[in-house]
């Protein structure tokens, strides 16, 4: 039972769906440029699902790059 719970947490279908609906950027630099171009306070973060970068309106604590 406990193992099942853990597995479910690691594979988060909701988060993956969010990933699929977002635009992917090859690098943090590109993601940041896009955010600047849109003139919005967007934050970039590395996606654990696809390994690419996404933009979010929420502040990311460890925005690297
Ligand atoms: Zn992703």
63 found inside a domain? no
pLDDT at 58: 84
Per the structure, how many domains does the chain have?
1
- The pLDDT tens digits for 4-62 are 555 555 677 888 888 999 999 999 999 999 999 999 889 999 998 899 999 999 876 66
pLDDT score for 16: 86
- CB distance 52 to 24 below 8 Å: yes
Give the global pTM: 0.70
64 within domain boundaries: no
Within-domain flag for 28: yes
- Which residues form the domain of 38? 2-56
Residue 39 included in any domain: yes
Whether residue 38 is contained in a domain is answered as yes
Integer Cα distance of 65 and 57 in angstroms: 17
Q: What pLDDT is attached to residue 59?
A: 79
Dist. CA 24–CA 44, nearest whole Å: 10
In a domain, 15, yes or no: yes
**What protein residues have CB closer than 5 angstroms to ion ligand 1?**
19, 47, 49-50
Sequence-separated (6 or more) residues with CB below 8 Å from residue 59: 43
Q: How far is the CA of 32 from the centre of ligand 1 (A)?
A: 16
């Amino acid at each position: 039972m406990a193992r099942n719970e853990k597995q479910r947490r690691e594979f988060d279908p909701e988060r993956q769906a969010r990933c699929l609906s977002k635009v992917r950027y090859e690098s943090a630099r590109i993601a940041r440029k896009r955010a600047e171009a849109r003139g919005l306070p967007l934050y970039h973060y590395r996606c654990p699902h696809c390994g690419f970068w996404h933009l979010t309106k929420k502040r990311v604590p460890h925005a690297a790059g």
